[in-house]
């Protein structure tokens, strides 16, 4: 018997969608970085836009973001979000040499970041494409510096217009065995989100 405050809530288990996508992207990044960078699925849930903002990295400094658009029959975006120390470490691994954090970066450093975004996006979206039965492709990655909250809120706004709940999917990068302050977000539009929902079985859970 349930107490008076207990209720049944129908929720979706998103693991069958995002674990394979994360594993495929992790395998691709491991090959690209000679085994030094891997991914793990940190968190995925449907929640309010306000709760998404509360879960974002916070700080007084802008972050470096590698933004990959999702193009095809369905759309969305992928965002790699790195603080300054982490982007220096990651680029150093990619170039196999120390990187000066105070010097202005040239095309070589930026190209390494863009190629990382392209490899990550291609592998990740291949797995999502298999799930929804519709081909999804990464757009050429862009690199921007901005504050986390504004970038993510802008990315999820199309979801928020169509629904009170938005999908929040966060993936953690590890570099040479150590966790970096690097977070990968997958943000589908409402149409892609609905296509993903249709592939899943609903599960009834007890909420206390």
Q: How much is the pLDDT for 9?
A: 44
CB 166 within 8 A of CB 197: no
Q: Is residue 2 part of a domain?
A: no
Q: How much is the pLDDT for 56?
A: 65
What are the pLDDT digits (tens) for 126-175? 999 999 999 999 999 999 888 877 777 777 776 667 667 778 788 888 88
Give the CA distances from residue 192 to residues 36, 43, 85, 166, in Å, rounded to whole numbers and listed in that order: 32, 19, 34, 12
Q: How much is the pLDDT for 58?
A: 56
What are the pLDDT digits (tens) for 69-90? 999 989 888 988 888 888 888 8
User: Taking CA 70 as the corner, what is the angle to CA 151 and CA 46, rounded to the nearest 5 degrees?
Assistant: 60
Find the CATH number of the domain harbouring 162: 3.40.1550.10
Q: Is residue 205 part of a domain?
A: no
Query: How many domains are there within the chain?
Result: 1
Rounded to an integer, what distance in angstroms lies between the CA atom of residue 60 and that of residue 170? Answer: 21
Q: Which domain holds residue 56?
A: 8-200
Q: Is residue 3 part of a domain?
A: no
User: In the structure encoding, which two tokens stand for residue 103, read together?
Assistant: 């010097």
Check pLDDT > 80 for residue 42: yes
Q: Is residue 207 part of a domain?
A: no
Q: Is residue 186 part of a domain?
A: yes
> Rounded mean pLDDT of the chain?
82
pLDDT-derived band of residue 3, with 50, 70 and 90 as boundaries?
very low
pTM of the model: 0.83
Q: Is residue 208 part of a domain?
A: no
């Amino acid at each position: 018997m349930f107490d008076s405050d207990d209720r049944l809530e129908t929720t979706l288990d998103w693991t069958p969608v995002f674990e394979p996508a994360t594993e495929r992207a992790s395998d691709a990044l491991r090959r690209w970085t000679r085994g030094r960078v891997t991914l793990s699925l940190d968190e995925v849930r449907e929640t309010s836009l306000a709760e998404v903002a509360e879960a974002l990295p916070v700080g007084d400094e802008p972050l470096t973001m590698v933004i990959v658009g999702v193009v095809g029959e369905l759309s969305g975006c992928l965002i790699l979000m790195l603080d300054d120390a982490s982007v220096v470490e990651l680029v150093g691994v990619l170039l196999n040499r120390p990187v000066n954090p105070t010097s202005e970066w040239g095309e070589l450093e930026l190209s390494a970041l863009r190629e990382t975004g392209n490899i990550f996006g291609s592998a990740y979206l291949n797995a999502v494409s298999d799930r929804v039965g519709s081909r999804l492709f990464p757009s050429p990655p862009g690199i921007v510096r901005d504050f986390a909250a504004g970038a993510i809120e802008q990315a999820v706004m199309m979801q928020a217009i169509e629904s009170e709940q938005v999908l929040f999917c966060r993936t953690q990068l590890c570099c040479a065995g150590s966790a970096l302050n690097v977070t990968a977000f997958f943000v589908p539009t409402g149409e892609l989100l609905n296509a993903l929902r249709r592939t899943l079985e609903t599960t009834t859970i007890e909420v206390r």
